[in-house]
A and B are shown apart, each in its own frame.
Chain A
């Protein structure tokens, strides 16, 4: 690991000033992604600003029924929060489907949002990677790409966004609150992560000197569920995951939210599928038609072509589980 200076500011203002004054500085939360990438020599900050001492670790009620989640709430604490389990089941389930108990104890909510979109070629310094070295090329596109994305891809990058939590937050219309010395702004989660385009090294809308301070989730009445399909039963990245919320009245879908993980370069809100589902019948045929519409823009490669069919089936299965009278046993 390249040597770096370490500072642990006592309050948010001091943290913001530390980063504003130093373009080579990075915020450090639980370290589960950043420390790993620093050890690999991929992330090389000159200064590490440890934010884990800041008072941003509360989950609080918002007027109107939403929740305000501090950026430093640990993933395990958020998944276990009684309000999250009761009112946002898909969020608790998504977090519990990710990583391991040890990593969830360390990882923060802000850090989960900011983990790098990555693939094995990103880690392998002998391979070409536009994300690690802009303009170098992408060895994944013609390489071993079984785990790679089929939605939101570009000629520069096909790496999959790895988070489970962010998929649920996208479906929940969450809003990220970010602060810098220039002020505070609110970024809808759908706009927070960026498509790779021809700048895959730029992954979020956050400026280098901005600190995530909280994530807010508005209330939602519809029952929800997160379903993840992977190569082993636990502790693996998704091949496909689905975060869904659906309300059905007399067989008709009156509310629906759908987001996909494991198949896209960013947490993927399936708006086209939602448009087709809303007002239609809660029936398997409709679920599959909506999935097909969402996946119409998919770009598959020999390694990951199976993901389109798997996504279609997983979307249908998740919506079936949310259909009254069809719930999973």
Chain B
């Protein structure tokens, strides 16, 4: 699989998750293991540009995909904006938040609908909160996260 632009040769058992393959076999520790059951979003990575939960993905299913983690997008304007707006406290959810936000902005630009609206002309706060609901922040830095995304979205 390609990880952050580099061809990686991996020999993993079929029950190894994409998250464990990245973290434990390749040393790519940006994606975090929070719940390990698809509920928190800390493991969010991009597979061919689509955001997914790496904890519920078997690595073998993604052998022919381009995987992008926070390491592969650094430096990114969202990182600066998260710092400026206090978009985190402990920082554990941040790599997943930023990968998720990158894909979310792409989805929005492509006209993907959400439960809040069907192709809104503006990325409102309600729209950002709905589209980012798959990423939990136990520190409760949501207001800063929304502000950071709003600033980068322009």
Contacts and interface: CB of A to CB of B under 8 A. Distances in A.
B37 A36 contact: yes
Interface stretch (B71-79, B81-89, B112-120): B112-120
A3 B15 contact: yes
Contacts of B58: 6, 28, 31, 35, 48, 50
A100 B61 contact: no
B53 A234 contact: no
B50 interface: yes
A235 B37 CA distance: 14
B13 interface: yes
Contacts of A93: 115
Contacts, number: 93
B37 A39 contact: yes
Interface residues of B, number: 34
A150 to B, nearest CB: 25
Nearest to A31: B56
Interface string A68-102: 00000000100110000100000011001101111
Contacts of B66: none
Contacts of A32: 38, 53, 56
Interface in A15-33: 28, 30-32
B144 interface: no
A1 B115 contact: no
Contact of B107 (A30, A36, A101): A101
B15 A1 contact: yes
B81 to A, nearest CB: 20
A103 B133 contact: no
A112 interface: no
B134 interface: yes
Given A36-B38, A105-B51, A85 B14 contact: no
Nearest to B107: A101
Contacts of B60: 6, 8, 50
Nearest to B43: A102
B113 A85 contact: yes
A234 B133 contact: yes
A1 B118 CA distance: 40
B123 interface: no
Interface residues of A, number: 37
B134 A235 contact: yes
Interface in A128-163: none
Given A3-B13, A80-B113, A105-B50, A36 B134 contact: no
Given A32-B56, A102-B41, A103-B53, A234 B115 contact: yes
A213 interface: no
A164 to B, nearest CB: 10
Nearest to B112: A80
A103 B133 CA distance: 11
A207 interface: no
A284 B105 CA distance: 41
Contacts of A170: none
Interface in B45-63: 50-53, 56-58, 60-61
A224 interface: no
A310 interface: no
B52 A106 contact: yes
Nearest to A84: B113
Contacts of B13: 3
B36 interface: yes
Interface string B124-143: 00000111011100000000
B51 A101 contact: yes
Contacts of A1: 15
A4 interface: yes
Contact of A233 (B53, B104, B129, B135): B129
B44 interface: yes
Interface of B: 13-15, 17, 36-38, 41, 44, 50-53, 56-58, 60-61, 100, 103-104, 107, 111-115, 118, 129-131, 133-135
Given A6-B60, A36-B56, A100-B133, 12 more contacts: A2-B15, A6-B14, A35-B56, A36-B38, A39-B37, A100-B134, A103-B53, A103-B134, A106-B52, A233-B133, A234-B130, A235-B133
9 contacts: A2-B15, A32-B56, A35-B17, A50-B58, A50-B60, A80-B113, A101-B134, A102-B41, A233-B133
Can you list the 3 inter-chain pairs with the closest CB atoms, starting with the nearest? A100-B134, A6-B14, A234-B133
